[in-house]
Amino acid sequence: MRLKDKVALITGASSGIGAGVAARFAAEGAYVALNFRPGSAPDREAAERAVAGFTTRAVAVEGDVSDRAQVEAMVDRVVRELGRLDVCVCNAGIEVRRDFLDTTDEEWHRVLGVNLFGAFAVSQAAARVMVRQGGGGRLLFMSSVHEDIPFPGYTSYCASKGAVRMLMRNLAMELAPHRITVNNIAPGAIATPINRAVLEDPVAYANAVSEIPLGRFGTPEDVAAVATFLASDEAGYVTGSTYYVDGGLTQQVTLY
């Protein structure tokens, strides 16, 4: 019970890594708010189903992280219903595969809107609550190995994650006086819906696995384990860092 009685908000928690982090946090004793995006019945149902299955108090909270008003309403609701906010995991993210020369302004703004503005708006609203409460807090960003490694065909995604790296490092400095720690988790290839195309194509899957030194895709549970550590009291002296959860992928890429 490493997160006993802490209140945690996790964005994009109806699937994949966010769902895994929410489940682990609840199992560790946290009160969890699972954010899901509006306009998707399956996302709403998945978040509400998860909440119903937890033994600790939990709420499913609707909200588009790329919309300031919805972010403020979501954070207000979490504090109203769960009493406070100790941990915020900015996890919601999207990607668009498009060659740089063909990328449209709409695609660019959509990806940066969720991955970067969403991370900014959610972390800012959460940090304001934590500062008001006193007593510190934990901000985690779900970046990617592509905060560092280029990925042809995904320029908007890589730009967003590279920017989240600097967002995190700056916040670590600015929020340290408030004892709010700020860190990134950089997943490699994790078996979640965002990778559906690769997971469902045996050739692409074999190629992807061949690049991972540990020889397998990661799981949401692999990521949740690191998130639990970073959210816990044990990580009180850790701030401004990126934790790679990538089976060695980053090291492999830098070899060549």
d(C-alpha 220, C-alpha 197), whole Å: 17
Nearer to ligand NAD, 70 or 181 (CB): 70
Out of 154, 157, 243, 244, the active site residue is 157
Helix and strand totals (H; E) in the chain: 10, 7
Our finding on whether 64 is near ligand NAD (CB under 6 A) is yes
**Which of 8, 14, 23, 125 lies at the binding interface for ligand NAD (CB under 6 A)?**
14
Kindly state the smallest distance separating residue 11's Cβ from ligand NAD, in Å. Answer: 6
Quick note: the x/- pattern for ligand NAD over 173-212, rule CB under 6 A, is --------------x-xx-xxxx-----------------
Contact 84, 133 (CB under 8 A): yes
- Which residue bears the tokens 């964005």? 11
Edge-to-edge, what's the strand order for the sheet holding 87-90?
58-62, 31-36, 7-10, 87-90, 137-142, 180-187, 242-245
d(C-alpha 141, C-alpha 144), whole Å: 9
Our finding on whether 12 is near ligand NAD (CB under 6 A) is yes
Question: Would residue 243 show up in a list of annotated catalytic residues for this protein?
Answer: no
Residue closest to 192 by CA, chosen among 230, 231, 221: 221
Residue closest to 123 by CA, chosen among 177, 181, 58: 181
**Which of 23, 79, 144, 239 lies at the binding interface for ligand NAD (CB under 6 A)?**
144
Kindly state the smallest distance separating residue 90's Cβ from ligand NAD, in Å. Answer: 8
Our finding on whether 11 is near ligand NAD (CB under 6 A) is yes
Calculate the CA 182 to chain-centre distance: 12
> Radius of gyration (Cα) for the chain, nearest Å?
17
Kindly state the smallest distance separating residue 21's Cβ from ligand NAD, in Å. Answer: 9
Kindly state the smallest distance separating residue 23's Cβ from ligand NAD, in Å. Answer: 13
Our finding on whether 86 is near ligand NAD (CB under 6 A) is no
Q: Which residues bind ligand NAD (CB under 6 A)?
A: 11-12, 14-18, 35, 37, 43, 64-66, 91-94, 114, 142, 144, 187, 189-190, 192-195
Tell me the catalytic residues. 157
